[in-house]
Amino acid sequence: MAIKEPLNDPMLDPVTGEYRVIAPGHTFKSVTEKVSRIVLTSHTPVGWWGGLAIAGGGVLMLMVALTWLFLKGVGIWGITIPVAWGFAIVNFVWWIGIGHAGTLISAILLLFKQSWRNSINRFAEAMTIFAVVCAGLFPLIHTGRPWLAYWLFPYPNTMNVWPQFRSPLLWDVFAVSTYATISVVFWYLGMVPDLGTLRDRAQSKFAQFFYGIISLGWRGSVRHWTRYETASLLLAGLSTPLVLSVHSVISFDFAVALLPGWHTTIFPPYFVAGAVYSGFAMVITLAIPIRKFYHLEDLITIRHIDNMGKVMLVTGGIVAYGYWMEVFMAYWYSASRWEYFMMWNRMFGPMGWSYWVLITCNIALPQLMWARKFRRNPTLMFIMSFIVNTGMWFERFVIVVTSLTRDYLPSSWGTYKATRWDYMTFAGTLALFTFLFFLFIRFLPMIPMSELRILLPQAKIKAKQEPLPEAGD
C-alpha cells in the first residue's frame, strides 16, 4: 500500500496525504525534553514577564471594579428594568461557552480515538478551568450580595428555608459547580504522570519537592496505568454529557421562561454548539501564539489547526441552523404575532445592528474556512478566532438584551446601555484569564508528554521472536 512519491513537505504523511500530528524524527526522550524544558528551565523568558505584568495590571483593574461594586451595589452597572440581566449574564454565558471546547477536546476526542488531540488537550483543559473561574464570577457578583451566595445551596439553616428546585437558576448552581469540579479533577488526573516526569527531571531541590508532592508518587506501574486509563476514559465519558448538560442548563435559564426570543426548543443544542464554536476559537487564539513563541510547531501542527477549523465549521453550521430555525418559525410557521415581532425587533429594532454583527461574525465570515488554504494558514485562523468570539459575544448580547428590552407589553419596554464598570469588569476577566494562563504555561506541563509518547512510531510493539499474549477473548 505504501507508495513512493516525492513530497517536499516533511509534515505530510506519504500514505494518506494528511498532515502529521507530530513531526517525524521525534523520540521518547526528545518530546520529554522539549516539553519539560519549558517548565524546568531556570531562565524565564522576558516576554513571559512582560505578558504577566500586563495581565496583572488588568487583574488590578478588575479588583478596582469589584471593590467599587461591593461598596455601591449593582446600580453602578447599566442594568435596568426590564433589562435586569445585562452584561453580567452575557459574559457568564460567553465564558462558560469558551470553557466547553477544552472539555470537549479532552473528552469526546478521547472517546473517538482522535489522537491528534493529545498535544492540545492539556492547555485546552486549563483554558476550561480558567474560563469557568471567570464565568463563575459573574452570577456571583450579579446576585447583589455575593457574600450570601451560599444561600443557593441546600443546607439546613436557622431560617428554615430551602432552595426552589423548579428554577433553572438553581439548576445552574449544580451544573456549574459540577462542571468546575470535574474539570479540575480531569485536568489534574491527566497531569499526574507528567508531574512525575517533572519530579524526576527537576534539578532544583524546591522543584523536586514541589513536583514530588503533587505527582503523588506516580511511578508508572502498568497496574496503575491500567486503572488510570480506565479512570481517564470514565471521566471522559462523564465529561461529554456534562458539557452538553451544562450549556443546556444555561440555555434553560432562558428557554424555560416565556419571553419571545427565549422560549424555544432549539435552545439547548444550539447553545451547546455555540459554546463549542467559541471555545474552539479560543483554543486557536491561544495555540497559535504559544506554538510560535515556544517553538512547538512540530507538536502543535497545521493538522491541529486544520481540524479545529473543521470543528468550527460544523458547530458554526449548527449555530446557523439554530438562527435559521428561529427566523423560519417566527416569520412563517409560528402563527404568533409575538414571535414575529420579536424577530423583526431583533433584526430591525433599535438594537438591530447587534444582530447583523453577529450574523457577519458568526455565519458570513467563517464560511471562508471551507477553503483548505484558509484553514491551514495560522495567521488567518488566528484572526478568524477573534471574529468568531466577537460574534459569539454578540449572540448572547442579542439573546439577553434585545429580547428583554421589548417583551409582550409595550408599556414596559425599555433600553439598555452598559456603563464603564461593565466594560471594566469584562476586560478585567479577560486579563484574569490571561494571567492564570501565563502562570500555567510556566509552572505546569502544557503538553501531555505521556500521551505524546503513545503517538510516536516507536510505541508500536512489533512481534519479534515470541508471540504476544492473547488479547482478552
Partner 1 sequence: MSAIREGTYGLLAEFDSPGDLVRAAQAAYDSGYRRMDCYTPYPVEEAAEAIGFHRDEVSLVCLIGGLLGVAAMFGLETWISVWAYPLNIAGRPYYSWPAFIVPAYEWTILWSGLSAFFGLFALCGLPEPYHPLFNAPNFRGGATSDKFFLCLEATDPKFEVAQSRAFLESFQPVSVVEVEY
Partner 2 sequence: MAQHAKTLPHDLGAPEFVDRWRARALVIGAIFGALGIILGFLAGDGWNHFLRAWLHGTMISFGFCCGGMALLMTQYLSGGKWGLLVRRPLEAMTRTLPLVFLYFLPVGIFGMSFKQLYLWSRYNTDPWGAWKQHLISATQAHSIYFKHPLLNPVTFWCVSIFCFASWWLYTHLLNKWSLQRDADTAPNVPYWQVKFENLSGFGVVFYTLTLTAVSIYWVMSLDVTWYSTVYGLQFLVGQAYGVLALVILTLIGLSKAEPIKTIMRITEQHDLGKLCFAFVMLNIYLAFAAFLIIWSGNSPEEIPWYLDRVRGNWGVVATLDVVFHWLIPFTLLLSRDLKRIKGRLAVCCCVMIFARCWDMFWLIEPNFKDAARNLHFSIGILEYLTVPVAMIAFWMAYYFTNLKTRPLVATNDPHLEEILEPEHAHA
Q: Interface residues for partner 1 in 14-73 (CB under 8 A)?
A: 27-29, 32
Q: Which of residues 158-177 bind partner 2 (CB under 8 A)?
A: 166, 168
Single out the residue of 10, 17, 144, 289 in contact with partner 2 (rule: CB under 8 A). 17
Least separation in angstroms between residue 188's CB and partner 1 is 8
> What are the angstrom distances between the C-alpha of 190 and each of 71, 291, 455?
41, 21, 16
Per CB under 8 A, which of residues 223..242 are in contact with partner 1? Answer: 223-231, 234-235, 238-239, 241-242
Is 103 a binder of partner 1 (CB under 8 A)?
no
Contact code string over 415-454 relative to partner 1, x by CB under 8 A: ----------------------------------xxx-xx
Residue bearing cell 483593574? 61
Cβ proximity to partner 1: between 81 and 463 the closer is 463
# chain residues binding partner 2, by CB under 8 A:
54
DSSP string over 108-121: HHHHTT-GGGGGTH
How many angstroms separate the CA atoms of 262 and 282, rounded?
A: 26
218 belongs to the binding site for partner 1 (CB under 8 A): yes
Q: Which of 346, 324, 330, 349 is nearest to 398 (CA)?
A: 346
Asked if 282 and 110 touch (Cβ cutoff 8 Å), the reply is: no
* Window 184-243: residues binding partner 2 (CB under 8 A): 240-241
Separation in Å, CA 322 to CA 2, 39, 309, 429: 44, 43, 20, 29
What's the rounded Cα separation, in Å, for the pair 198 and 40?
7
Nearest CA-CA partner of 451 in 209, 105, 98, 14 = 105
Please tell me whether the peptide bond between 82 and the residue prior to it is cis, using omega within 30 degrees of 0: yes
Distance (Å, whole) CA 64 – CA 267: 36
Partner from partner 2, partner 1, none binding residue 336, C-beta < 5-8 Å depending on class: partner 2
How many CA atoms lie within 13 Å of 454's alpha carbon, on the beta-carbon side?
12
What CA–CA distance (Å, rounded) separates 270 from 285? 22
Interactions with partner 1, residue window 245-264 (CB under 8 A)? 245, 249, 252
User: Which of 129, 147, 170, 151 is CA-nearest to residue 66?
Assistant: 147
Which residue in 30, 204, 265, 412 binds partner 2 (CB under 8 A)? 265
| Cell 435559521, located at residue | 324
Q: Which is nearer to partner 2, 333 or 348 (CB)?
A: 333
Residue 265 near partner 1 by CB under 8 A: no
189 touches partner 1 (CB under 8 A): yes
Q: What is the DSSP letter of 331?
A: I
| Smallest gap from residue 50 Cβ to partner 1 (A) | 32
Pick the closer one to partner 1 by CB: 126 or 202. Answer: 202
Q: Does 151 bind partner 2 (CB under 8 A)?
A: no
Instruction: Give the per-residue contact string, 338-377, with partner 1 (x = CB under 8 A; - = no).
Output: ----------------------------------------
Which one among 161, 206, 335, 457 touches partner 1, defined by CB under 8 A? Answer: 161
- Stretch binding partner 2 (CB under 8 A), from 94-102, 175-183, 249-257, 282-290: 249-257
Residue 229 binds which of partner 1, partner 2, none (CB < 5-8 A, kind-dependent): partner 1
- Tell whether residue 469 is a contact of partner 1 (CB under 8 A): yes
Q: How far apart are CA 347 and CA 334, in angstroms?
A: 17
By the rule CB under 8 A, 3 interacts with partner 2: yes
Residue 83 contacts residue 405 (beta carbons within 8 Å): yes
The Cα–Cα gap between 284 and 305 comes to: 7
CA 40 to chain centre: 27
Q: Quote the least distance from Cβ 390 to partner 2, whole Å.
A: 23
Which residues are near partner 2 by CB under 8 A?
Answer: 1, 3, 5, 15-18, 111-113, 166, 168, 240-241, 244, 248, 252, 255-258, 263-269, 310, 313, 317, 321-322, 324-326, 329, 332-336, 370, 372, 454, 459-461, 463, 467-468, 470-471, 473
